Amino acid sequence: MPIVVGEQRSRQTLVNALGQHVDLITVHQALFVAFAVLTGLRLLARIAPAVTLVSGRAGRSLGNTTVVPGSGRRTVALVATMVAAVVAVVLLLPLADDWQDAGGRPGAPPPGPSSGP
């Protein structure tokens, strides 16, 4: 947000609500939280039917005993995708420290092997 309107303007108080100062950065953060919550809810709403379809339980609950061909492969693909996601998080989360800025000092070089102690 500071990139669009500038650092000073993004920190100007828009509204005082319940003793809290609301500025453009606060609005930006609130919109991010709302986006994350809504995206998470949509993901959960889509995963439950997907797992039901992949496991073949949907046909049985509707009285259909026919198993959809390839359900075993779809189940393996779904589990492999979830395992890959967990492995990616475990491997990449410790590297998040390197993504931070250089201690908030303007003009400081980014952290990494080329920066000195």
Instruction: Using the predicted structure, report yes or no on whether residue 104 has a pLDDT greater than 60.
Output: no
| Separation in Å, CA 72 to CA 56, 66, 85 | 9, 14, 20
Separation between Cα atoms, residue 16 and residue 20, nearest integer Å: 5
Q: Tens digit of pLDDT for each residue in 9-47?
A: 888 888 888 888 888 888 889 999 999 999 999 999 998
pLDDT beyond 60 at 81 = yes
Q: What is the percent of the chain where pLDDT is above 70?
A: 67
Q: Which of 27-31, 99-103, 111-115 has the highest mean pLDDT?
A: 27-31
- Put simply, whether the predicted model's pTM sits higher than 0.85 gets the answer no
Lookup: tokens for 19 = 């003793």
pLDDT category of residue 107 using cuts at 50, 70 and 90: low
Which residue(s) pair with 20 in the sheet? Answer: 17
